Each structure stands twice: as C-alpha cells, then as structure tokens.
Amino acid sequence: MYRVSILLVALAVGIANGKVLPTSRVSFPTGDIINGEEAEPHSAPYIVSLRSSGSHFCAGSIIGPDLVLTAGHCLIYNKFDVAAGLHDRKNLTGAAVRHATLKRSRTHSLFSGGVGPYDIGLIKIDPPFKFNSTVNKLKLPTQGKNHSGDATLFGWGKVNEVSLPNNLQTVDTIIIEYKACKKALPSGSPIHPTNICSNSNKNNRPGISACNGDSGGPLVQYDKKGKAESVGIVSWGYVPCGQNNDPSVYTHTSEHIDWIKKNSNF
C-alpha cells in the first residue's frame, strides 16, 4: 500500500516572527502528544514552555540554574520567553518566566536548519531559576550512553491534528535504536546515528507520537530512585502524527554531552 506519511519539518508550533504560518501537511513542530494523557501537575519540573507573543511554540528542559536544553530548530526568534513551573500552558500564575534572546542562545554548528541531525540548542537564562518542587533540573546522561527500553515523553504538543492541549501531556513509549528506526522509517528519511527514536505502539496501543508543539521537549527515563534522565530532545516526525506507525525522532542527548559542556559558558 502506498504510504501517505509526509515529513514533519520540526515539531514546533507554526508561528514565525509573530505570524501564523500557512496550514500545510508539511508543518513545523508544534503540537501535542498523540494518544497520551494529562500529566500529574509538576511531575516534570524540568520542562519549560518557549513562548513568542504570549503563545507556546516549543518546549525545552532545564539542565542548570541558568541553562535550558532545546532543539536547534526552536531557536528562531530574536526575543522570546522561557516559562518554567507551569502545567496549563495558558496560565502563567506562579510560573517562573524569563526573557531570552537569540544572542544568548547556541545552536550546534553542524545543524543545517529544518529537519536533520545535530538539532540541539542551548538557552542562557538571566536571572537563574530558583529550584523548588515545581522548577528543577533534568539529569544529563554520560557521553555516549546507550538507551533502550521504556521511556516517557512530556509536552504541550498537539493531541490530534487540530488541537493543542492546555495542560501538560505525557505518554509512555519504547526506545528504538538508530538502525531499527532507520528501517522503520520511509526510505530517504534524514535519520542519523546521532538520533534516537520512540516506537508508535506500546501494549497494543498504536498511534503514540510526538507532534507539532512538542519540539525541543524531553524524552526521559527514570533510575531506581525515580530520578529522570534525558534520553532525547523532540526533533521531527511524519504527519499525520501517530499514523502509519512511523517512529518519532529525537536528538540523542548522550551523543552531545561533550558539546553541551563546551558550550554551556557563554
């Protein structure tokens, strides 16, 4: 059967320079998690909402008091806000909001923009976040660490092809390593050894997927003490989200630990 999946050019919300992008089957990452459920409030205290003109367009993860990890394709605005400690993306009451600029951000030098490898970026925050029960950092893995097994995705991305959720969503999924992911994706997909993927089916529950608006957000695993560790950064996928059993594609965090360390002080 002919495959009708169409490339999702970054899972961010379709807004650029304050303007809504034309509706298209090829879209920028923005949406909700497909076939997920509402997360427990503040169960991912490291996740942040990146915002332009008051609207969510991407996510990120706090990895230090003054440092946020996100996707390179999310760093498109000269000025934007970073909101931590929120559950409802529209309600900033009690949230820690910081103004950010492109000049205080870093994107991997090998990232060519759009869909592709090395889709990773850093944002410098000033003043630093104060850590508490609702705002905290995500643990980073060691350089080159292999990840396998179950993982958990968080995001405010589309929950279907139309709607963004107000409240943070989550879903459990299964990690797919590079070779298996490449085989599962349509021929010619821009998959790279520095990517990692998640399965679209878990416990006979098909259609699990990241979607527009989830870009830059965290795929995590938990250790025996229940502490979350970064596995991947939402990068790209195929639309319609969650259909055709196409994996979701992430920047594999452990492939970039040396880069993060070298670029954290700016």
**What contacts 90, CB < 8 A, 6 or more positions away?**
166
Q: Nearest CA to 154 among 33, 28, 253, 50?
A: 33
Catalytic-residue membership of 119: yes
Catalytic-residue membership of 108: no
Catalytic-residue membership of 215: yes
Using CA atoms, how far apart are residues 230 and 251, in angstroms rounded to an integer? 11
Using CA atoms, how far apart are residues 253 and 232, in angstroms rounded to an integer? 5
- Which candidate in 119, 192, 200, 235 is catalytic? 119
- Sign of the dihedral defined by the CA atoms of residues 185, 190, 193, 197, in that order: negative
The position carrying tokens 């452990």 is 254
Strands (E), 110-227: 121-124, 150-155, 169-176, 195-198, 201-202, 205-206, 218-222
Answer whether 115's CB lies under 8 Å from 71's CB: no
- Which candidate in 56, 73, 147, 192 is catalytic? 73
* Six token digits for residue 65: 């008091």
The position carrying tokens 């993306």 is 89
- Which candidate in 52, 215, 248, 254 is catalytic? 215
Strands (E), 204-247: 205-206, 218-222, 228-239
Q: How crowded is the C-beta side of 266, counted as CA atoms within 13 Å?
A: 19
Catalytic residues: 73, 119, 215
